[in-house]
Structure 1
Amino acid sequence: MLTGLSIRDVVLIEALDLEFGAGLDVLTGETGAGKSILLDALGLALGARGDSGLVRHGAGQAVVTATFDPPSPDLAAMLDENGVEVEPGEPLLIRRVVKSDGGSRGFVNSQPASAGLLRELAPYLVEIHGQHDDRGLLNPRGHRALLDAFGRVRPEETARAWERLRAAEGKLAAARAEIEAAARDREWLEHAVDELTRLAPEPGEEEALADKRRGMQRAEKIAGELETVADCLEGSNGGISCLRQAARVLERVGEDHPALAEALAAVDRAIIECAAAEDKLREARVALAYDPRELEADEARLFDLRGMARKHRVQPDDLAALAEELSGRLQRLEAGEEGIGKLEAQVAAARAEYDKAADALSERRRAAAARLDDAVAGELPPLKLDAARFRTNVAPASPDNWSGAGKDRVEFEIATNPGAPFAPLAKIASGGELSRFLLALKVSLAEQGGAATMIFDEIDRGVGGAVASAIGERLARLAERTQLLVVTHSPQVAARGDRHFLIAKASDGTVTRTSVRVLPENERREEIARMLSGATVTDEARAQAGRLLEAA
């Protein structure tokens, strides 16, 4: 709900601070007093084009601040998605600044906001109904949702069926695309699978082969050195043989001197160590022994693996997975028609399910449309639209426009004269008729809610007497559920207001200003009397004004 509107330097308004409450707020004033300026100022705060012509002459900038009740959960979520922080329970402040050079800035709770974001906020906050409004009830894009809300038609089952259909169609399309791509490359695919099958790569094989090859190449390099060591240790002239010969000589003479016995013990130890070295050398030669043919085979295998990896632009360790993937593609291609058939059957089943749910939804909409048509028809005669007809056109949408909300295109249409064809609201109704049609429709839809604040701009234009009374009575009924701001020329409508704002224009000879103030009860009767009688207020007009206020 709109709780306050602060205006600075907008056209003829120098400074203005207004407070609004629940119920029906009426705005009156003489023609040309500037009633439209208030709506222009509010529109500016809600993202309308920031025209420099709105800046009061001589001022550097115009500023409008609109204050609303704390945002609803849906609105708070939308603000959060756009990076605007809102404290729970705190009012929503929207401010728009327009400079005299045409530049503008927007703010939501002191945080910068684009004009586009302000326009996104507007439908959550205010509905403006009038002949120049191209949103709300005049926009066919919202008619289906309004009808569903009126008829309590819930499309959830259809939405679930639509999601299942879309998922099935997606799988079918992906399978067809894969088969088509595979079919184009079938010859290459068969050749690649054959090559990889014959190669039979294994994960980690390339690294294992490389390590083994490095070991054999190293063994090839040190084979000569090992032979030299063996020659030094083994054989009749080797080190061990000489040590054993020396030991035998020392055994014969060892008793002749203690040092010879010690020498013999040392030689025995050397023999033992040399024998151990001989064993280790033999073990190493066995371990490092290689078959040149095996080295050649491993090198050829390694070459084949790396060459295949380069060919397919993968790592050698990924060849096994690639072989499995390409084999799967080939198998799916060969069994493709059977798989496609199954997916086509799934799509057909999902489409039948969606058709059933959407058709049932259409039936419920047509039933709701008939009830809405009856409700609106009952509102038209008191509004002097008894020759007009209203209908909710529920028609099939093109398949391209089917969705989780069903297959229907919904549009509100009217025929203003007997025998005249039905057409969209905005195209055939005059300004006054259109406003009254919108009022009838809004009253019929009242229980379904909408924005917390609704504005009707001169809805009573061109009517008076009983029709104006009927309009006032319906506005009062609407105001029981939501806040209404009504710009009116009708005393019958003004008398229904919970608060009465008077808009006046005054000039001191050099500067013209527009002012707005809330009228106390005695001044309110005087204003309604002026609306009844014109420039000269008569006692009879005052008496009539009193009766209107009492009747309200």
Structure 2
Amino acid sequence: MLEELRITGLGVIEDASLPLAEGLTVITGETGAGKTMVVAGLGLLFGGRADAGRVRTDVGKAVVEGRIRLDSTVDQRTAAAVRQRAVDAGADVDDDELLLSRTVTSEGRSRAHVAGRSAPIGVLSELGELVVSVHGQSDQMRLLQPAEQRAALDRYAGAEHEKVYERFRETYGQWRGAADELARRRRDATERTREAELLKLGLAEIAEVNPEPGEDEALAEEARRLEHAEALRGAAVTAHQALSGDGDGMDESADVMTLLGAAQRALEGQSSVDSALGELSSRLSEAASVIGDVASELGSYLDGLDADPARLETIFARRAVLKGLTRKYAEDIDGVLEWARVAAARLVDLDVSDEALEAMRAERDRLAKETAGLAARLMASRREAAVRFAEDVSVELTGLAMPHARVLAEVGPRPVGKGPHKLEVEGAECGVGPDGCDEVELRLRANPGAPAASLQRGASGGELSRVMLAIEVIFAGAGGPPTLVFDEVDAGVGGRAAVEIGRRLARLAHRHQVIVVTHLPQVAAFADRHLVVAKDVSGAVTTSGVHAVMDTERARELARMLAGLPDSDLGVAHAEELLAVAGKEKRAIRAEA
């Protein structure tokens, strides 16, 4: 829930704080006082487009700050989602509140902060989707668009409908992907065939050589040994004889093992006298063991040393063949083998044989049939939801002083050509897109016997406002953001209808925080908190501020709204009567809950 909003340097508002609360808060004021700047400030706070033209030039920047409560007054799933998104953005979130701010300079630069930490503007937008839903006259215009009407019906239809819709979207994407891939393969068949032939030649050449992983390095090492076999043998023989004493003409007393043995025995003999000599004797014994191992390994090395010229010639020939592969395909044999693996996979993708194309056609057709079946299920689900939706909206309109009005939600197949693709659904071709194969149109029958007309042609401004409010009341019962903002959605309404709108907003405020910018005293009378935007023209620059009104001051504001005469005793008396009626209605609403 939005607890407080502060706006500085935005439009006519120099510095204003809006103390918000649970229930219904109304914002009123004279035309031009800056009521729309409050809604504009909310839009900025929750990631809306920054308009440098609205920044006060004498200040140079506009700042909007908001405090969101995350305590027991808010649905805890929503509160948890808000906390998690803020934490993901790097913010240190207090358990019960979250501070947001947005700054826009006169040059158009914009910054956002979440819990005092700098954050992308998009984070404010994501938090706004969780916290607040803003409805204004532009939303009414959007409701006239078929896509918005379909989205409203889908939102209403419920969880099972959403599952069908999700399956349709997934299958539709698979179908279009298969169709596009088949078209691409047909279109690029010649180029694909040429590429496939080149890959096949390369794979055949590699397969004929049949290299082993690391073979080029292994052969290079073996070749080096064979090329220097005599030098290696001489070095190994000399080292072996020096260590072990084996070999013709060697002086037995000169080999390392004999000398080490003599030294070790001499030290061992005196170890009882001095333990230090015993320690050195042990170390000589360890050295003798290591030298013995080396001598043994040198012997094995000499036994395996091969100086076969024929083997060397074979290695040279094999290395030349492998070099031919590394010149063409990669730097080493391991790279050549990886090229072959990738090429084999690419060949599968390049397959443009009749068999491959036929298999792709079959898969495309299978997915098209599955998509058509899901499109039919989606249409049926929308038709079922449309009956309930129309009934619920019509009931709400009865309570909004339109007792004879009926809203009809018609769902029909989309004509071929109006969708990006076409499919046969339930025996007839229709246009299909990622949103289905049907069109939704909301129609209004304002009076019994009158023909139902589309909202675009059959609804006045006041009627459209009430239809929009009725839809929002229905949606509110299904959850959604905890804060609802209505910006003069009561335009074109008056009299009894205005009272009914106030009553509906008060009922809605029993489950949500509702903030309403209104020019109707009948609506303002139902407020739990009444804020007035007042204009000050005493200085060189026009400014506006916001203050809460209560009791007599509130009655005077309603009198101003009723007749433009805040000081009229008759106007104030009328306002007080209006407040009394609204108070009685609010008590009845609380009793019903």
TM-score normalised by the chain length of structure 2: 0.68
Change (3 A) 1:113 1:416: farther
Q: Is the 8 A contact 1:384 1:467 kept in 2?
A: yes
Check whether the contact 2:55–2:106 (CA below 8 A) recurs between aligned residues. Answer: yes
CA distance in 2, matches of 1:488, 1:451: 21
Paired with 1:324 and 1:84, the residues of 2 have a C-alpha distance of 44
- Paired with 2:221 and 2:57, the residues of 1 have a C-alpha distance of 88
| Counterparts in 2 of 1:525 and 1:222: CA distance versus 1, 3 Å | closer
Contact 1:182 1:330 in 2 (8 A): no
Aligned equivalent of 1:438: 468
| Structure 1 counterpart of 2:223 | 213
Amino acid at match of 1:422: S
Residue 84 of structure 1 and its aligned partner are, at CA, apart by 4.2
Correspondence 1:159-170 to 2 at 5 A: 159-160=166-167, 163=170, 166=173
Residue from 178, 193, 202 that aligns with 1:183? 193
> In the TM superposition, what whole-angstrom CA distance separates every residue of 1:340-371 from its partner, at most 9, and x where no partner exists?
55555455444434433332122111211222
Selected match of 1:422 from 450, 454, 461: 454
Say if 1:147 and 1:368, in contact at 8 Å, map to a contact too. yes
Q: Which has the larger radius of gyration?
A: 1
Q: Distance in 2 between matches of 1:461 and 1:486?
A: 12
Q: Distance in 2 between matches of 1:488 and 1:177?
A: 60
Change in 2 beyond 3 A, CA 1:204/1:542: closer
Alignment of 1:150 with 2:156, yes or no, is yes
1:374 to 2:391 alignment: yes
Q: Contact (CA 8 Å) 2:112, 2:121: kept in 1 or not?
A: yes
2:318 alignment partner, one of 278, 298, 301? 301
Pairwise CA distance, 1:67: 1.8
| 2:18 is equivalent to residue 18 of structure 1 | yes
Q: Would the alpha carbon gap of residues 145 and 302 (structure 1) be closer, same or farther in structure 2, given more than 3 Å must change?
A: same
1:518 and 1:195, CA in 2 relative to 1: closer, same or farther beyond 3 A? closer
Is structure 2 residue 419 aligned with structure 1 residue 398? Answer: yes
Q: For the residues of structure 2 that align with 1:476 and 1:319, how far apart are their CA atoms? A: 75
Q: Find 1:482's aligned residue among 509, 512, 516.
A: 512
In the alignment, which of 501, 514, 519 is matched to residue 544 of structure 2? 514
Equivalent residue for 2:308? 290
The letter for the 2-side match of 1:303 is: A
Identify which of 110, 113, 117 aligns with 2:116. 110
- 1:130 is aligned to 136
Over 3 Å counting, the alpha-carbon distance change for 1:98 and 1:413 in structure 2 is: farther
Go from structure 1 to structure 2 and tell me whether the alpha carbon gap of 1:69 and 1:284 turns closer, same or farther (over 3 Å shift): closer
The SS at the match of 2:532 is strand
Distance 1:94-1:408 versus aligned 2 partners, 3 A rule: farther
Taking the aligned partners of 2:50 and 2:340, their CA distance within structure 1 comes to: 64
Q: Percent identity?
A: 37
Identify the range of structure 1 (302-311 vs 332-341) with the bigger mean alpha-carbon deviation.
332-341
Greater displacement, 31-40 / 481-490:
31-40
C-alpha distance in 2 between matches for 1:18 and 1:43:
15
TM-score by length of 1: 0.73
Deviation, 1:173, is: 7.5
Distance 2:420 2:220 in 1: 62
The answer to whether the 8 Å contact 2:140/2:468 transfers is no
* Contact persistence 1:494–1:500 (CA under 8 A): yes
| Distance apart, 1:20 and its partner CA | 1.1
Deviates more, 1:411-420 or 1:46-55: 411-420
Residue 361 in structure 1 maps to residue 368 in structure 2: no
Q: What CA distance in whole angstroms lies between the structure 2 residues aligned with 1:287 and 1:551?
A: 112
Deviation at residue 376 of structure 1 after TM alignment: 2.4
Q: CA RMSD in A?
A: 4.6
**Aligned 8 A contact 1:106 1:118 in 2:** yes
Matched letter for residue 20 of structure 1: L
Structure 1 residues 117 and 410: CA distance shift in structure 2, 3 A: farther
Deviations 1:266-310 (A, max 9, x none): xxxxxxxxxxxxxx99x9799645345x54343222211211221
Please give the alpha-carbon distance, in whole angstroms, between the structure 2 residues aligned to 1:84 and 1:548: 49
Change (3 A) 1:291 1:60: closer
Aligned partners of 1:333 and 1:512: how far apart in 2?
71
Does the 8 A contact of 2:5 with 2:67 survive in 1?
yes
Distance in 2 (alpha carbons) for counterparts of 1:167 and 1:421: 38
> Does 1:492 find its partner at 2:522?
yes
Segments of structure 2 that go 5 or more residues without pairing to the other structure are: 71-77, 235-247, 249-297, 422-431, 583-593
Q: Structure 2: how far apart are the matches of 1:75 and 1:135?
A: 30
Match of 1:456 in 2: 486
C-alpha displacement of 1:434 = 3.6
- Equivalent residue for 1:202, pick from 212, 230, 243: 212
Q: Which runs of 5+ in 1 are unaligned?
A: 226-239, 241-279
Q: Is the 8 A contact 1:468 1:490 kept in 2?
A: yes
Cα offset for 1:530? Answer: 3.9
What's the counterpart of residue 557 of structure 2? 527
**1:11 touches 1:57 (CA, 8 Å); kept in 2?**
no
How much has 1:489 moved relative to structure 2?
Answer: 2.6
Count of residues in correspondence between the two structures? 496
The residue type paired with residue 79 of structure 2 is S
Using the TM superposition, name which of 437-446 and 151-160 deviates more: 151-160
Over 3 Å counting, the alpha-carbon distance change for 1:461 and 1:288 in structure 2 is closer
Q: Distance in 2 between matches of 1:160 and 1:551?
A: 51
| Contact residue 100 and residue 115 of structure 2 kept, 8 A | yes
Counterpart-to-counterpart distance in 2, 1:325 and 1:370: 56
Q: Distance in 2 between matches of 1:111 and 1:382?
A: 46
Deviations 1:130-177 (A, max 9, x none): 224489857766554432332214332553465467568768977985
Instruction: Give the 3 Å change call, closer, same or farther, for CA 193–50 of structure 1 in structure 2.
Output: closer
SS at match of 1:196: helix
Q: Secondary structure at the match of 2:40?
A: helix
Q: Is the 8 A contact 2:322 2:333 kept in 1?
A: yes
Instruction: Provide the residue aligned with 2:40 in structure 1.
Output: 40
Matched, 1:72 2:71: no
- Residues 137 and 488 of structure 2 are in contact (CA less than 8 Å); yes or no, is this contact kept in structure 1? no
Describe the shift of the 1:385–1:327 C-alpha distance in structure 2 as closer, same or farther (beyond 3 A).
closer
What is the Cα deviation at residue 429 of structure 1?
5.8
1:53-90 Cα distance to aligned partner (Å, 9 max, x none): 54556435433212222363444454455x34251534
1:447 deviation in Å?
Answer: 1.4
Report if the CA contact (8 A) 1:28-1:489 is conserved: yes
CA 356–437 in structure 1, closer or farther in 2 if over 3 Å, else same: same
